[in-house]
Amino acid sequence: DTAVSQTPKYLVTQMGNDKSIKCEQNLGHDTMYWYKQDSKKFLKIMFSYNNKELIINETVPNRFSPKSPDKAHLNLHINSLELGDSAVYFCASSTGQGREQYFGPGTRLTVT
């Protein structure tokens, strides 16, 4: 009965590879988000989707492409991975834009 789930939990890959992280929420929320948390725990929003439409894209390189096949899913695809992409990526969802957000457990991405 997990509310917001992400897969995989850990992802180790080499520079230049392409990878995807999946997110699903079963809360019936309309809005989903991707955040990046760096090694100093600083958390920054990357994308926000409302009803499958992109609302926010916060100066993220176009190597990152979110895809929302339906309201319950928001996947993150990353092309040509770089060392600086190493971080923990969190998915979140809310009933309205910006409101009480519920976070997934995170995906720790390590690029070697």
Partner 1 sequence: GEDVEQSLFLSVREGDSSVINCTYTDSSSTYLYWYKQEPGAGLQLLTYIFSNMDMKQDQRLTVLLNKKDKHLSLRIADTQTGDSAIYFCAVENNAGNMLTFGGGTRLMVKP
Which residues of the shown chain bind partner 1 in the complex (CB under 8 A)? 4, 40-45, 48, 50, 55-56, 90, 92, 96-106
Residue type at 76 in one-letter notation: L
Residue 86 has what DSSP assignment?
A: -
Residue 66's nearest CA partner among 81, 58, 54 is 54
Nearer to partner 1, 17 or 101 (CB): 101
**Least distance (Å) from partner 1 to the CB of residue 56?**
6
Whether the Cβ atoms of residue 25 and residue 3 lie closer than 8 Å to each other: yes
- Rounded (5°) CA angle 42-98-87: 25
Nearer to partner 1, 72 or 105 (CB): 105
Give me the sign of the Cα torsion angle 109, 88, 49, 95: positive
- Tell me the closest approach of the beta carbon of residue 109 to partner 1, in angstroms: 15
Q: From the CB of 9, what's the least distance to partner 1, in Å?
A: 9
Please say which residue, 61 or 98, places its beta carbon nearer to partner 1. 98
Our CB check for partner 1 shows the closer of 14 and 42 to be 42
